[in-house]
Amino acid sequence: MNYNQNKRIMQISEETLIVGVDIAKESHVARAQDFRGFEYGKTIKFTNDITGFNEFYKWIEKLCAEHDKSKIIVGMEPTGHYWFCLAKFLRQNAIKVTIVNPMHVKKSKELDDNSPTKNDPKDAKVIAQLVKDGRFSEPNMPEGIYADLRLAIDLKEMLTKELCAIKAKIARWLDIYFPEFQDVFSSWEGKAALLTLRNLSTPAKIVNITAEDIVKLWKTEVKRAVGSKRAELLIEKAKSSIGITQGIDMAEYNLQYLLDKYKTVMDNFEKLMVKIETIVDQIPEAKEMLLIPGLGLVTIAAFLSEVCDLTQYSHPRQIQKLAGLTLKEYSSGKHKGQTTITKRGRRRLRALLFKAIMPMVAHNEEFKALHEYYTKRVNNPLKKKQSLIALCCKLIRVLYALGTKGVAYNPQKLMDDIKHPEATGKAA
């Protein structure tokens, strides 16, 4: 990605045809202009299919021929996922694709006509004007193995949410129909607990069976930590249960459905994790990243799925901006505002980095030392959360170096970054 404003503006010249496209689900609207803002041709509306794409491409070729343009740059709003197919089509035809920030479109739509009116043709023109001024970025569309990795991480998040929902429903079922179950088993996800829920799901069924039969059931799959004492405790709790008994037949059916769903999701989750590990093994830089204490396979896989190939970035600050970790402040005159992060970027990447840095501060000696230094230094000590944000940026720089330079993780390199005022006589 190229975030340098001057370089973006230099991409626009007299030979450039600038096209702004307003994206929608079924049809798109496009307008074209030159580098001065002079509009070419009429507004075109084309469908979101191959017929519409070919029509749009012929319209662009016609305008290029009529106005002697040799370069084409198409800008669009990243509206949901509806722009993916058009971007792919344009790239296959060697046309440069850029995206503009929807917030920029919203805030600049009144510059030309001083009117808050919003419609598709107007939005297409505003997008083209933003591209003309260099206010665009190039989309980070994963390709090859990175595309597989991003889809795998998306599926993992979906399965995780689904699994959390199922667990919450099973916990709710136990609270209603057998609250004493958790006095016997610390977790209902254990093998013995799941066997019990599968075969003896209600207190009424448990009281009608002997402890020996319960132990025999458990030993079909569990060899340790199951005995007559726990079975007797289970029977005792079932006899004194305060759980609801009305509608118990359908409640039991509901539980079996939830358990089936739980098993299906868990099986899919385990298979997916094997696939993710296989994909990560094919990325050379991931091997060095996995050697960093405190970082695991899932974190590295999620990071690479968000940033893709690290060699496409010229500086780690670009990844920092992508994650929305760049600083902002509101100052005017003598007023000095508070400095915070922008939070404008990939929210999932920002959350991933923050979640990753928490265990690293606890288990990685270098990051632990840095965190202590940032929060306890004499001059300009940081609050704990500010320090964690700074360490997130530090982690980005470390991962970037490992991924682009092919160097090994060097703990001493991190420790050398700490300035000791008592040793140098200067404030850090």
Q: Are 369 and 323 within 8 A, CB to CB? A: no
* Tens digit of each residue's pLDDT (9 = 90 or more) over 6-37: 888 889 999 999 999 999 999 999 999 999 99
Residue 324, domain member (yes or no): yes
In a domain, 328, yes or no: yes
CATH number for 69: 3.30.420.40
Q: What is the pTM of this model?
A: 0.84
Strand partners of residue 11: none
Do 192 and 97 lie in a common domain? Answer: no
b/e per residue 323-341 (b: at least 16 CB within 10 A) = bebeeeeeeeeeeeeeeeb
- Rounded CA separation 310/153 (Å): 18
HSE value, Cβ hemisphere, 13 Å, CA-based, for 204? 10
Whether 419 shows a pLDDT value over 60: the answer reads no
Full domain range(s) for residue 33: 5-132
Answer yes or no: do 213 and 303 share one domain.
Answer: no
Instruction: Give the domain-ending residue among 217, 245, 277.
Output: 277
Q: Are residues 257 and 207 in the same domain?
A: yes
Q: What is the pLDDT of residues 101-150, one digit of tens each?
A: 998 899 898 888 888 888 999 999 999 999 999 999 888 888 899 999 99
Kindly give the interhelix angle for 384-405 and 347-363, rounded to the nearest 10 degrees: 100
Residues 164 and 96 in one domain: no
Question: pLDDT-based confidence at 379, cuts 50/70/90?
Answer: confident
Asked which of 12-26, 170-184, 210-224, 413-427 is least confident by mean pLDDT, the reply is 413-427
Asked whether residue 165 falls in the same domain as residue 62, the answer is no
Q: What per-residue confidence (pLDDT) applies to 425? A: 40
DSSP at 339: P
Q: Each residue of 142-179: pLDDT tens digit? A: 889 999 999 999 999 999 999 999 999 999 999 999 99
Mean pLDDT of the chain: 91
* Residue 143 belongs to some domain of the structure: no
Percent of the chain predicted with pLDDT > 90:
76
Span 68-107, pLDDT tens digits: 999 999 999 988 899 999 999 999 999 999 999 998 899 8
- Same domain flag for 243 and 177: yes
Burial class (CB in 10 A: 0-12, 13-18, 19+), 316: buried
Distance of alpha carbon 173 from alpha carbon 297, whole angstroms: 34
Give a yes or no: residue 13 inside a domain.
Answer: yes
CA distances from 71 to 44, 74, 139, 215 (A): 20, 10, 19, 77
